[in-house]
């Protein structure tokens, strides 16, 4: 079977690697990095200025677990729970910090996209399609960690704090929270749990890159539990209760990372089986074409018979 001219022309052309085709000089990469960094700073700056006008609403939202815990501890429902500031300009710095965190949180999808757009030319097409879903999953998991803090962890902390109030002979111990310490605790818990909830994504990326396997992760459960506990000790306030509150969901997330690694390995095996079958079919087809070509050549060069005598 003769090849068509177009097929021959395509076969003569060397296959171009898509990553090599996107190669650019170092200066172009640096200029692109500068441009994307400027875009990120502009967006964060604009959101920072806008966030200043909603910081009081956000701070009031974060104070709600404190107020609910105080009412559960016996304070009258109509009573306004007070928090105190003890340093000049303290609330201004708290609002500035909150405004910056709001700007980073709101602009995170845009920041992630700019980072992805910068590194995407250095990835193959299948690698880009594999990384892109994680950009949408990261904010979801971060929000899930923050929701766990707001709905369960922070109220539990406040209930324990108010439960230590007592009245003795001639003295009364009352929990009077400082606004700065409360917000720092809240922000640290939200940040720690939000980043800790990225564990399945990290494990999935490592499994997709072939760095770890599901069997390896199963065998390392005991070591992972020790690492998780020590990580919780460094990421949360210095009390055993917060360590437990972070260690338990982290270990559950570790198990979900093992499940993700199993699914990734199964998908890889299916793709490898499909590729092997395709290569086998291609080899059989090429062998059949080669056999037909040899038969055609043999029939074309075979003797046509002997001439009659006398001719």
Give CA torsion, residues 278, 284, 287, 291, to 10 deg: -140
* CA 254 – CA 222 distance, rounded (Å): 11
CA 154 to chain centre: 24
Helix (H, G, I), strand (E, B) or coil at 178: strand
Beta bridge pairs of residue 173: 166
* CA 83 – CA 59 distance, rounded (Å): 12
Beta bridge pairs of residue 84: 178
Sign of CA dihedral 124, 130, 134, 137: positive
Asked whether 189 and 146 are in contact (CB, 8 A), the reply is: no
- Helices (H), ranges, the chain: 5-12, 18-21, 26-51, 55-72, 90-119, 125-148, 154-162, 179-196, 199-208, 214-219, 221-235, 240-301
* CA 132 – CA 123 distance, rounded (Å): 11
pLDDT at 49: 92
Taking CA 157 as the corner, what is the angle to CA 243 and CA 104, rounded to the nearest 5 degrees?
75
Task: List, as one string, the DSSP characters of 56-86.
Answer: HHHHHHHHHHHHHHHHHTT--TTSPPP-B--
DSSP 122: G
* CA 87 – CA 25 distance, rounded (Å): 53
- Please state the length of the chain: 311
* CA 243 – CA 228 distance, rounded (Å): 9
Find, among 185, 242, 190, 223, the residue nearest to 234 by Cα.
242
- Ordered per-residue pLDDT tens for the chain, 311 residues: 444 455 444 444 445 455 455 555 677 778 888 898 999 999 999 999 998 889 889 888 988 888 888 888 887 777 777 788 888 888 888 888 889 988 988 888 888 888 878 877 766 676 666 777 777 888 888 888 888 889 888 888 888 888 887 887 777 888 888 888 888 888 888 888 888 888 888 888 788 777 778 888 888 888 888 888 887 777 766 667 777 877 888 888 888 888 888 888 888 788 778 888 888 888 888 888 888 888 887 777 756 554 455 44
* CA 1 – CA 8 distance, rounded (Å): 13
């Amino acid at each position: 079977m003769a090849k068509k001219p177009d097929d021959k022309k395509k076969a003569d052309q060397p296959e171009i690697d898509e990553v090599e085709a996107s190669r650019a000089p170092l200066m172009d990469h640096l200029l692109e990095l500068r441009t994307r960094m400027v875009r990120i700073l502009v967006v964060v700056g604009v959101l920072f200025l806008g966030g200043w006008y909603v910081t009081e609403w956000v701070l009031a939202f974060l104070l709600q677990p404190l107020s609910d815990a105080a009412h559960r501890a016996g304070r009258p429902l109509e009573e306004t729970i007070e928090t105190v500031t003890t340093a000049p300009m303290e609330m201004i710095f708290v609002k500035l910090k909150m405004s910056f965190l709001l700007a980073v949180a709101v602009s995170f999808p845009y920041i992630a996209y700019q980072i992805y757009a910068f590194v995407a030319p250095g990835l193959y097409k299948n690698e880009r399609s594999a990384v892109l879903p994680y950009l949408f999953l990261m904010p979801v998991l971060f929000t899930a960690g923050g929701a766990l803090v707001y709905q369960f962890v922070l109220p539990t902390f406040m209930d324990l704090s108010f439960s230590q109030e007592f009245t003795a002979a001639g003295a009364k111990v009352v929990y009077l929270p400082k606004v700065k310490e409360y917000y720092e605790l809240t922000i640290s818990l939200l940040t720690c749990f939000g980043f800790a909830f990225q564990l399945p994504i990290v494990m999935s990326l490592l499994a997709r890159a072939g760095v770890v396997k599901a069997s390896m992760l199963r065998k390392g459960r005991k070591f992972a539990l020790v690492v998780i506990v020590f990580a919780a000790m460094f990421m949360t306030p210095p009390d055993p209760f917060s360590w437990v509150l972070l260690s338990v969901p982290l270990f559950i997330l570790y198990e979900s990372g093992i499940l993700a690694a199993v699914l990734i390995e199964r998908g890889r095996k299916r793709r490898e089986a499909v590729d092997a079958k395709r290569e086998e079919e291609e080899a059989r087809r090429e062998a059949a074409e080669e056999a037909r070509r040899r038969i055609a050549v043999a029939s074309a060069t075979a003797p046509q018979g002997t001439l009659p005598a006398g001719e």
